[in-house]
Chains A and B, each alone.
Chain A
Amino acid sequence: MTGLVNFFDILIATIRDVLPIAIILFGFQMLVLRRRMANLRQVLIGFVFVILGLAFFLQGLEQALFPLGKLMAQQLTAPEFLGLDETAGAAEAHWQQYLWLYLFAAAIGFSTTIAEPSLIAVAIKANQVSGGAVGTWGLRIAVAIGVAIGIALGSYRIVSGTPLHYYIIAGYIVVIIQTLYTPKTIIALAYDSGGVTTSTVTVPLVTALGLGLATNIPGRNPLLDGFGLIAFASLFPIMAVMAYAQLGEWQARRIKQRRLREMEN
């Protein structure tokens, strides 16, 4: 019964989130464009599906995955699990002690990204627009690998206590260099994939991980060190998607060369 009441609350909250968007869309449609939409009925039914789907999705996440995931993030960052005693400083803790933590960070980054609805949306569109050249799964896996690396490295940053902006600035330099060597058609999509990764599923779990780490590791301040994981998770997919495109291009070139050689023989 409480589940049903909960679901109703979430449904109301979802409708409240969608309402301003719907007002903007239909307001401009009716007042500025002043044109009847061709398939208004279908679009409205689609909106109902979106609202219901999101409400179910959020309710399920909050009932099942979030409590467990957050609890696990806390347990994996707890001083007892990491083998830190009260007297030992962070400098004495070896990185091996954190191995499970980094693995968890990477795994949770990868798996939440695969389930992220906004990434599914962008992948569908990219596949459609590119005429199938950009594979839905290829793009999603590339982005998920990027997020996995980003979250793991971001956790390492919190553990080691190095300043966030060094990593981000270094990341920017890599992105700029990669941009020069990536096929032009993929650049905009790669930049976009940075922003879409961190949404409904990823943000709550990753935030719990970051704050857990910054609270438990001696010498870390939640204010200075707890944030920043999302920034990592938005930067690394850009590199991963460009690398994926470069790999695809390289492979296509190799196949072409092999064909040429075979033809010569």
Chain B
Amino acid sequence: MRAEDQAPFVKKLLLHLGASLTDSIRDLIPIIGVIAFFQLIVLRQPIPDFGNLLGGVVMVVVGLTLFVHGLKTGLFPIGESMAHSFASKGSMFWLLLFAFALGFGTTIAEPALIAVADEAARVAATGGMIANTQYATSEYASGLRLTVALSVGFAIAVGVMRIIRGWPIHYLIIGGYIGVVIMTFFAPPEIIGIAYDSGGVTTSTITVPLVTALGVGLATSIHGRNPLTDGFGLIAFASLTPMIFVMLYGVILL
């Protein structure tokens, strides 16, 4: 790209970022308002280290702006273009393997999951569920992570299968709910809270856009599927199966 071509490109990019900067500020006003209200009026305490706080808020705004831009130019296009390529390749095996790998790979390293698994292991050790040793807790935490990652991989693969076949989503979800309820009666009570929570923490900020773009892309490429009705739903599976799998882990282990 020559220098004179680059100038309008940069200008367009800056204009675009400027517009989404105001969106990001608007997105953050509620959280700032809530914290200010409770700190100043309910708890009646001054805001500590105001300069630092302001700096942090500016970083959050800049970060959100850059992320949303990257989302539209990077994550969405690659998710959709790969969905189209898989649909035209027509190999179910590779598509399902890709879906599983995407679910498993993005979850195993998910920081929120690592935090929750460590916390769960710590709590389990102090509660006497497992031996209070370094080895036992780290075994327990990594077992939990592996279980959740396997279940998310499985969920995305089943979800992709559903889009291809055009199964109505609510039968599968209701089936999953029944699975959760049945497992609740068999699982040790200590693991139920963690199991229910693990459904929510699996889907990270990078996974969600990619998986959404994959689903919508597949539903767009396959004849007879509606992107709105059939394209969404992958995240729903990914937040349901970990509950069942983690309770199963509890039944087997404890």
Which of B56, B58, B65, B98 touches A61 (beta carbons < 8 Å)?
B56
> In the bound complex, do residue B74 and residue A223 qualify as a contact, i.e. CB atoms below 8 Å apart?
no
> In the bound complex, do residue A227 and residue B197 qualify as a contact, i.e. CB atoms below 8 Å apart?
yes
Which among B62, B102, B210, B228 has the highest number of chain A CB atoms within 10 Å?
A: B228
Which residues 54-78 of A have a CB within 8 angstroms of B? Answer: 54-65, 68-69, 72, 75-76
For chain B, what secondary structure do more than half of its interface residues adopt (helix, strand, loop), or is it mixed? helix
Which of A21, A192, A227 touches B207 (beta carbons < 8 Å)?
A21
> In the bound complex, do residue A56 and residue B66 qualify as a contact, i.e. CB atoms below 8 Å apart?
yes
- The answer for the CA separation of A69 and B199 in the assembled complex, in Å, is 24
Q: State whether the Cβ of B132 lies closer than 8 Å to any Cβ in chain A.
A: no
Interface string of A174-218 (1 = CB under 8 A from B): 011001000011111101101111111101100100000000000
> In the bound complex, do residue B73 and residue A43 qualify as a contact, i.e. CB atoms below 8 Å apart?
yes
Q: State whether the Cβ of A38 lies closer than 8 Å to any Cβ in chain B.
A: yes
> In the bound complex, do residue B60 and residue A64 qualify as a contact, i.e. CB atoms below 8 Å apart?
yes
Q: State whether the Cβ of B112 lies closer than 8 Å to any Cβ in chain A.
A: yes
> In the bound complex, do residue B194 and residue A199 qualify as a contact, i.e. CB atoms below 8 Å apart?
no
- A50-B71 contact, Cβ under 8 Å, with A69-B35, A168-B196, A195-B238: yes
Residues of A within 8 A of B250 (CB): none
- A20-B228 contact, Cβ under 8 Å, with A57-B67, A58-B63, A228-B193: no
Q: State whether the Cβ of B236 lies closer than 8 Å to any Cβ in chain A.
A: yes
For chain A, what secondary structure do more than half of its interface residues adopt (helix, strand, loop), or is it mixed? helix
Q: State whether the Cβ of A255 lies closer than 8 Å to any Cβ in chain B.
A: no
Which of A38, A47, A115 touches B30 (beta carbons < 8 Å)?
A115
Residues of B within 8 A of A68 (CB): 35, 39, 47-48, 53
In chain A, what residue has the closest Cβ to B43? A75
Q: State whether the Cβ of B248 lies closer than 8 Å to any Cβ in chain A.
A: no
> In the bound complex, do residue B53 and residue A57 qualify as a contact, i.e. CB atoms below 8 Å apart?
no
- The answer for the CA separation of A51 and B70 in the assembled complex, in Å, is 8
- B interface bracket (residues with beta carbon within 8 Å of A): 35 or more
Residues of A within 8 A of B222 (CB): none
B159 to chain A, nearest CB (A): 10
Q: State whether the Cβ of B139 lies closer than 8 Å to any Cβ in chain A.
A: no
- A38-B81 contact, Cβ under 8 Å, with A21-B206, A195-B200: yes
- A225-B193 contact, Cβ under 8 Å, with A68-B53, A117-B67: yes
A5 to chain B, nearest CB (A): 15
- A interface bracket (residues with beta carbon within 8 Å of B): 35 or more
Residues of B within 8 A of A3 (CB): 55
Chain B interface: which of A29-37, A85-93, A246-254? A29-37
Q: List 8 A-B contacts (CB under 8 A).
A: A21-B207, A25-B78, A29-B82, A35-B85, A37-B81, A39-B77, A185-B226, A192-B234
Chain A residues in the interface with B (C-beta under 8 A): 3, 13, 16-18, 20-21, 23-25, 28-29, 32-33, 35, 37-39, 42-65, 68-69, 72, 75-76, 81, 100, 104, 107-108, 110-112, 114-115, 117-118, 120-122, 124-126, 129-130, 134, 164-165, 168-169, 172, 175-176, 179, 184-189, 191-192, 194-201, 203-204, 207, 221-231, 233-234
Chain B residues in the interface with A (C-beta under 8 A): 27-28, 30-31, 33-35, 37-39, 42-43, 45, 47-48, 52-78, 81-82, 85-86, 89, 94, 98, 101-102, 105-106, 108-112, 115-116, 119-120, 123-124, 126-127, 129, 169-170, 173-174, 177, 180-181, 184, 189-190, 192-194, 196-197, 199-210, 212-213, 216, 226-236, 238-239
